[in-house]
Structure 1
Amino acid sequence: MNDLTQTPEMLIAQMGARARRAAADMAQAPSELKAQALVAAARSLREAMPKIVRANRTDMERGAANGLSSAMLDRLRLDEARINGIADAVEQVANLADPVGQVIDESERPNGLRLSRVRVPLGVIGIIYESRPNVTADAAALGLRSGNAVILRGGSEAVESNRAIHAAMVRGITEAGLPADAVQYVPSTDRALVGAMLRAVGLIDIIVPRGGKSLVARVQDEARVPVLAHLDGICHTYVHAAADPKMAREIVVNAKMRRTGICGATETLLIDKGYAEPQALVAALLDAQCEVRGDKAVTKLDPRIEPAQDGDWNTEYLDSIIAARFVDGVDEALDHIAVHGSHHTDAIITQDAAIAEQFLARCDSAICMWNASTQFADGGEFGLGAEIGISTGRMHARGPVALEGLTTYKWVVRGTGQVRP
């Protein structure tokens, strides 16, 4: 058990040292053993369901008392269906192909040296996250399957839920024979421990932040170890002039309202000036109890629409609110996305294949979609099992970060006695 009287630096150093030893074991763990451990962890999550629900109830009550928004409370809430979903996701990761040891490419030099690039784990991954307790299981599962050790630091809003999920996961993986230190949970919500993780050079190989702008900004400002950033999701849906009206209404309402608190929710609606049924489109959102904040032209479509302010185009609402404006063609839509988007997920709705391909080619986002809801921006929906986050940067991994994104590679060189002249 960790001694909470230690300084943050001492505690993270001890956890990091244990994680480093566990990572060495995990890198050599057979694929079958890792899969068996995750199946056992999923079973343990289901067995611990009453305990997890009770822990989550405590977090929900505290969150409501502290004034958490409805969207944040939705992210936090766990019930039997969601816990079963978390366990299912862990099992899905167990069934995915193990990336460790995969040969990326091979070549032979004129001197006979045979070169190959082989996937290997990153090592020790620190995950700093807020609100969503499913991240505890997702991160643990992805880290283990890809041969890494993980150090988890969840937010204070979900502390009881996270501890209960972590305990269940560890119980399962240790029963299967993997080291408990491969999945560690930082035992305190002291913010100083975040700083200690960010400075843990040589102990933690990469930091993955999942949370709001303030968290990600702090991580990027203070980190002395590499960061794989999951930024905000200012996602756009552009309804082109050639969009099918029925399809457009269904996609837009789903993209905004299915779950408003996820990063793949559409936050801005762009309507082509040539689109035939804009009034019905915004009415569908309003009728679904979504607040629409529109530019001057959009406000004329329905008296229920509120005027948009400048800041609305740069806001991730995570709530039943959407900004809407008219644009004059695909060029203006792409210009708006380039200025106001977060390079997360952006979609076009159109029956014009040529325009769609133009949008997909020119849209500079991690995920670009055609005739689909932005709510599909999810590792599970992409067939990746769970995800550790959606990277909006350009380095290492982009889009949903799953098993492959948690590996790097090494060069393996096989010779027959060659010496360099």
Structure 2
Amino acid sequence: MTLTADVVTSVKEKAKKAKHVSKKMGLLDTEEKNEALLHVATALEKHSHFILQENQKDLQVGKEKGFSEALMDRLMLDQDRIHEFAESLRLVTRLTDPVGEILDEWTLDNDLYVKSRRVPLGVIGMIYEARPNVTVDAVGLALKAGNSVILKGGSSAISSNKAIVNVIHEALDQTKIPRDAVQFIEQTDRSSVQAMFQLKEWIDVLIPRGGASLIKTVVEESTIPVLETGTGNCHVFIDQTANVKKATKIVINAKTNRPAVCNALETLIIHRDWLKENGDTLNEALQEHHVTVHGDKEAESFFTDVVPAEEADWMDEYLSLDLAVKIVDSIEEAILHIDQYGTKHSEAIVTEDEKNALIFLNEVDAAAVYHNASTRFTDGGALGYGAEIGISTQKLHARGPMGLTALTTTKLLMSGDGQIRH
């Protein structure tokens, strides 16, 4: 991909503007940031007609290009969704501001006083696909944590994102937060993303949010540190002691509540003994919710119209009403399957055996592990973080839903009286 001078210059200028105001952002007090976010929330609802009008342009293009049902769902806005992301901003204003928090303090033998304080990251580069609500979530969390943010949304949502950012900029002009704290890259080709990768001097961290190929590209090609979010090949394991009503309810919710999101169930692992007793009940529920089962020969004995499973079925994030089904003889076999194919996002066990529950919770390596609950709770709002900026599946700095504190770092502050080191 050829990087033109015009693209590099444009992206760099936006990054410089964001960097220039980032110091001011770090000095704003909580009340000033909250007032600005409340003003933005009101403006988004007030100008919802304009946003929806622009969103229709994206939906029309998506229809013409034959976007999948899952992608169209992520792209689509209505009055309720605009109200939801305005409310998410209001929720963020009610969350404790992490900036300035003293994490630790101590005095050395030489009377040098040391304290560790939480401070903003600085400039966050947000690279994401499809969902216009991410524009609002990223802005709300970044600004509340005292950061500037550079937004690079996907081409599929360009009209919606431009409209949302226009409304945000006009609202910020009435507040203490400068509009330069929110930068939006309008170029829709990938060269603008490549340009961001080289701006380590101006951007402090990149956060990719989208499909596996996007995340892989950012992680492998960026010179800037990356807070890595991950795809969700999520599993539910039903062991031999699971309550049938509980298990069925959890599976149906995890698979069908919103199949196009990253915390939806993709592979169901079932203990053979449980399936022999309760397969009919589960099959009936899956049929009722129009779920297509992908399984092996054994699964064909219990489920209707099974699609023969291939290796890809254990690895793919369907984001649809398709479900891979694996039949096992033990919890050890279930965990082995998750270790091999999981993406370290969200995994669940349904069991009445406390010993098995502890084994699963302790041995499964994922950002979120559940006992007798749906994987759909891996979400910043659902878990009390407020609007999330993404779900981290890595192990450094932040893991799981990334809320306000994940968008801060620490600074050591020392106070002395002429101390020198010998």
TM bin (shorter chain): over 0.9
Matches within 5 A, 1:96-115: 96-115=95-114
Cα distance between partner residues in 2 of 1:375 and 1:174: 37
Structure 2 counterpart of 1:257: 256
TM (normalized to structure 1)?
0.97
Cα distance between partner residues in 1 of 2:388 and 2:169: 19
Structure 1 counterpart of 2:47: 48
Cα distance between partner residues in 1 of 2:329 and 2:121: 46
Cα deviation for residue 206 of structure 1 reads 0.7
Cα distance between partner residues in 1 of 2:369 and 2:87: 27
Change (3 A) 1:22 1:243: same
Matched, 1:85 2:84: yes
Cα deviation for residue 73 of structure 1 reads 0.5
Structure 1 counterpart of 2:226: 227
Structure 2 counterpart of 1:379: 380
Superimposed CA distance per residue, residues 255-274 of structure 1 (whole angstroms, 9 cap, x where no aligned partner)? 00011110000100000123
Cα distance between partner residues in 2 of 1:205 and 1:302: 50
TM (normalized to structure 2)?
0.96
Matches within 5 A, 1:5-404: 7-275=6-274, 276-404=277-405
Change (3 A) 1:60 1:155: same
Q: Could you say what secondary structure the match of 1:412 adopts? A: strand
- Residue type at the aligned position of 2:376: Q
- Whether the 8 Å contact between 1:269 and 1:323 is mirrored in structure 2 is yes
Length, aligned pairs only: 417
Cα distance between partner residues in 2 of 1:359 and 1:278: 23
- Residue type at the aligned position of 2:103: I
Cα deviation for residue 135 of structure 1 reads 0.3
Residue identity (%): 41
Superimposed CA distance per residue, residues 42-66 of structure 1 (whole angstroms, 9 cap, x where no aligned partner)? 0000001101111111111110110
Cα deviation for residue 114 of structure 1 reads 2.4
Give the gaps of 5 or more residues in structure 2.
none
Superimposed CA distance per residue, residues 129-185 of structure 1 (whole angstroms, 9 cap, x where no aligned partner)? 001000000000000000000000000111111111111222222212210011111
Cα distance between partner residues in 2 of 1:234 and 1:166: 32
- Whether the 8 Å contact between 2:198 and 2:224 is mirrored in structure 1 is yes
Q: Could you say what secondary structure the match of 1:120 adopts? A: strand
Cα deviation for residue 6 of structure 1 reads 6.1
Q: Could you say what secondary structure the match of 1:408 adopts? A: strand
- Whether the 8 Å contact between 1:286 and 1:304 is mirrored in structure 2 is no
Superimposed CA distance per residue, residues 377-410 of structure 1 (whole angstroms, 9 cap, x where no aligned partner)? 1101011111110010111111111100000101
Cα distance between partner residues in 2 of 1:236 and 1:295: 17
Superimposed CA distance per residue, residues 5-54 of structure 1 (whole angstroms, 9 cap, x where no aligned partner)? 96111111111111011111100011100011000010000001101111
Cα distance between partner residues in 2 of 1:69 and 1:273: 34
Q: Could you say what secondary structure the match of 2:173 adopts? A: helix
Cα distance between partner residues in 1 of 2:270 and 2:37: 45
- Whether the 8 Å contact between 1:37 and 1:174 is mirrored in structure 2 is no
- Residue type at the aligned position of 2:361: L
Cα deviation for residue 91 of structure 1 reads 0.8
Tell me whether 106-115 or 45-54 shows the greater mean CA deviation. Answer: 106-115
Cα distance between partner residues in 2 of 1:113 and 1:356: 48
- Whether the 8 Å contact between 1:271 and 1:278 is mirrored in structure 2 is no
Cα distance between partner residues in 1 of 2:133 and 2:16: 26
Superimposed CA distance per residue, residues 206-245 of structure 1 (whole angstroms, 9 cap, x where no aligned partner)? 1111111111121122101011111211000111111111
